[in-house]
Amino acid sequence: MVSLSYLGKRLGLMVVSLYAVITILFFLFRILPGDPTSRVVSPRFSAEQQEQLMAQYGLDEPLHTQYILYMRNFAVGDLGQSFQHGEPVLPFILDRTINTLILTVPAILIAFILGPFIGALFAWHRNGRLDNYGTAIALTTYAAPIFWTGMIALMIFSFTLNILPSGGMRPAGDVPGTAVDRVFSLVTWQHAILPIVIFALWRISRPILITRNTMIDVLGDDFIQLKKAEGTPESTIRYRHAMRNSLLPVVHYGALAIGYAFGGSVILETVFSWPGLGRTMWDAVQAHDYPVVQGAFFLMSFMVILFNFIADIVSSWLDPRVKDEGVVE
């Protein structure tokens, strides 16, 4: 089990990491090229209008005062207002996050449910034709850039065969509706099929390879030989005993993959014109809309840090061999 001291240390590290991310984001987007005030204050405005807008966004204050206000607002969930859209940042990016989850959740489930079973099959037939060809395909899908596979898929299924939509969440002119409407809309899922499949193919290779390599070692353990000598069916040995004892690294990587999936969504959503968090962040970067960029980066960083924390706790809880100052066997 995990001791309270270990849990407290991991929580403390997570809080410090989040504070560091927030601080870095504040200063980073104020020293990059492209004056953020130019997105708010037009030269055509009168001096009075310019001063009013600068005061509204807090851009007329010294940098250290802006930082104090920024941290205070951040603590209550106020991430500022979008320069480009004129909306509060937090509800704006949370709405786009729902769209990202429509892609990432099914893809992660497909990858981490099917992946271990495929990897176990490869390990059982180690160095056979199935293992050799399957491992080569898994390595290829892992190494292939997701934007490349996405564009190839669009060329084949959307432009050549014309059997799947070429991008977006809905046909041009359709109103997206609320988050609930989008999640339960058949049209949404028709548009999501291709990016989900591409994202799942990109993610499934790691669970396959991790399970395969770990299970090859497990198959040499004495208890597996004992089960074979007892006449236990092959499928039972393969999945109940060997694969089950090979899942710890997959569980750890799975927790990390959920967080890192938000980073991969930037490229995927750009290729498929999907209005999710990644595409929103990319558009905001181009528009120098730094409140939205800060909010999107923070949310992505938060997911990575949170699931790193979960991965550490789950690994310590699952594996009795783990010995750490905060883990009790």
* pLDDT tens, residue by residue, 2-58: 677 878 888 999 999 999 999 998 888 777 665 555 555 556 666 676 667 667 666
Residue 55: name the closest of 68, 42, 40 by CA: 40
pLDDT tens per residue, range 82-134: 878 888 999 999 999 999 999 999 999 999 999 999 999 999 999 999 999 99
Prediction pTM value: 0.81
pLDDT score at 181:
85
CA distances from 20 to 15, 23, 305 (A): 9, 5, 12
Rounded Cα distance between 321 and 328, Å, is: 10
Q: Average of pLDDT values for 226-243?
A: 89
CB 295 within 8 A of CB 96: no
CA distances from 235 to 9, 203, 227, 239 (A): 42, 26, 12, 6
Domains within the chain, CATH numbers bracketed: 89-288 (1.10.3720.10)
CB 164 within 8 A of CB 198: no
CB 276 within 8 A of CB 282: no
Directed axis angle between helix 89-124 and helix 277-286, to 10°? 130
pLDDT score at 257:
83
Q: How far apart are the first and last CA of the chain?
A: 6
Rounded Cα distance between 112 and 253, Å, is: 10
